[in-house]
Amino acid sequence: MRSANEGSKSEISVGVFGGRGYTGRELLELLHRHDGVEVRFATSRSDAGEPTPIPGLDFVDPESAPVSEVDVTFLCLPHGTAVPWVARLKGGPKIVDLTADHRPGSGREEGAVYGLAEPNRELVKDADLVANPGCYPTGVIFSLLPLERAGLLDRERLTVINAASGVTGAGRTPKPELLFAEVAGNFRAYGEGNRHRHLKEIRVLLPELSLLFQPHLLPVPRGILETIVVPVRDGVGATEVRAAWMEAYRGAGAVRVLGEGIPDLSQVVGTDRLALGVTEVDGVAPPVVTVVAALDNLGKGAAGQAIQNMNLMFGLPIDRGIRC
């Protein structure tokens, strides 16, 4: 075991709860390639005794996970199930919780640091419990927070977020509406009327904005594209928006601000980066700009950002072991 102030002398020992799911599997693949990490266990109740994606490591039942042997655990569990684990692990390993259980707006955020890896990096360094951000909120908050802080937004008008996620965003537990025959060749909105739970998390970070958040299910395995119609103050255009992002994300290898044009999924799927682009909009007054954020829901939207948070908690370079 090692502590944060031991620098990068030894390996961080790691355990993953929920290693059979989509985020857990992605995380195991990344951790296996990370040169500062040793994975000691990965849990699954249904696949206990079966091989994990890491050669020589089999899944164990969560009840028999050797938690005292690890420096940090990742909770890749369904919502609601992280709470009892956090209580049981208290005083033990550090925790990166990928569920929504301790995120802003959950009512249980006390004692947890919100792991927006680049904006909150100083806070994450000292955290024992990190609430890893949701996949949709990552794109929205990384897009809008620098613009809000720079005073570029017209708060009186509505910001419209049209978001679409690939099917892995819904997790691996079978559901009828996620059958191939329902999803393939189809495209649909859900959580309409501002009812998606991620909006709560976004609103805590952007309390002054009036937001309409409309998610869609995209018939691809992975990837999130968010097209945001952003009301800006007079005189603000794409140049000012890019400048605010560049200022906020200077030196951030996982956040790519496009010099021109807008990103698409092919630029981010299978990576841990977030790509941001902006265009001006003709014929609209007062002015708006269109911001497009693209990320992989399992990468920067989950496992990639979780690894960044672990790196920060143990004094490693933020982007070590991720694909940016």
Ligand X SMILES: NC(=O)c1ccc[n+]([C@@H]2O[C@H](COP(=O)([O-])OP(=O)(O)OC[C@H]3O[C@@H](n4cnc5c(N)ncnc54)[C@H](OP(=O)(O)O)[C@@H]3O)[C@@H](O)[C@H]2O)c1
Which residue's CB is nearer to ligand X, number 276 or number 302? 302
- Minimum gap (Å) between residue 77 Cβ and ligand X: 5
Distance CA 134, CA 306 (A): 11
- Per annotation, catalytic residue among 70, 135, 145, 262: 135
- Minimum gap (Å) between residue 98 Cβ and ligand X: 4
- Minimum gap (Å) between residue 99 Cβ and ligand X: 3
Distance CA 144, CA 173 (A): 32
Which residue's CB is nearer to ligand X, number 101 or number 154? 101
Which residue's CB is nearer to ligand X, number 180 or number 283? 180
Helix, strand, or coil (residue 258):
coil
- Minimum gap (Å) between residue 101 Cβ and ligand X: 8
> Is 76 labeled as catalytic in the residue annotation?
no
Which residue's CB is nearer to ligand X, number 146 or number 301? 301
β-sheet bridge partners, residue 214: 162
Helix 238-248 vs helix 135-149: crossing angle, to nearest 10: 110
Residues that bind ligand X (CB under 6 A): 18-24, 44-47, 62, 76-79, 81, 98-100, 134-135, 168-169, 171-173, 297-298, 301-302
Instruction: Detail the DSSP E strand segments found in 27-174.
Output: 37-42, 72-75, 94-97, 113-114, 129-131, 158-165
Q: 111: left (phi > 0), else alpha (psi -120 to 50), else beta?
A: left
β-sheet bridge partners, residue 74: 16, 96
The catalytic residue positions are 135
